[in-house]
Amino acid sequence: MPFGIFMNPKKQKPCGCTRIGDTIVDLDALEHERLFDGPLFSVTKDHYFCQPTLNDFAAAGKAYRVELRETLQRIFGEKGSLPDALKADALFPAKDVQMQMPMFIRDYTDFYSSYNHAYNVGVMVRGPDNAIQPNWKHLPVGYHGRASSIVVDGTPIIRPRGQVSADKVNPTWSKCNRMDFELELGTIVSHGNKMGHPIKVNDAREHIFGYVLLNDWSARDLQVWEYVPLGPFNAKNFGSTISPWVITPEALAPFKVALNKQEPELMQYLKDDDLHCYNVDLKVKLKTPKMENYHELATSNAKYLYYSVAQCLAHHTVTGCNFNTGDMIGSGTISGPEKNERGSILELCWGGKEPIKLPNDEERTFL
Active site residue 191: no
Cα–Cα distance measured from residue 109 to residue 144, given in angstroms and rounded to the nearest whole number? 4
Residue 341 DSSP label: G
The string of DSSP letters for 132-159 reads S-TTTTTS--EEE--GGGEEETT---PP
Give the long-range contacts of residues 346-353, CB within 8 A, separation 24 or more.
Answer: 346/121, 346/124, 346/180, 346/218, 346/220, 347/117, 347/120, 347/121, 348/297, 348/298, 350/124, 351/124, 352/178
Strand partners, 363: 357
Contact residues for 134 (Cβ-Cβ < 8 A; gap 6+)? none
The active-site residue, picked from 47, 117, 138, 295, is 117
Instruction: Phi first, then psi: give them for residue 62, nearest 5 degrees.
Output: -60, -40
Distance between CA atoms of residues 5 and 13, nearest Å: 10
**DSSP one-letter string for 53-73:** SSHHHHHH-HHHHHHHHHHHH
Give the three-state DSSP class for 171.
coil
- Could you give the CA distance from residue 234 to residue 237 in angstroms, rounded to a whole number? 5
Q: Chain-centre distance of CA 146, in angstroms? A: 14
Q: CA-CA distance, 40 to 62, in Å (whole number)?
A: 11
Q: Which residues are catalytic?
A: 117
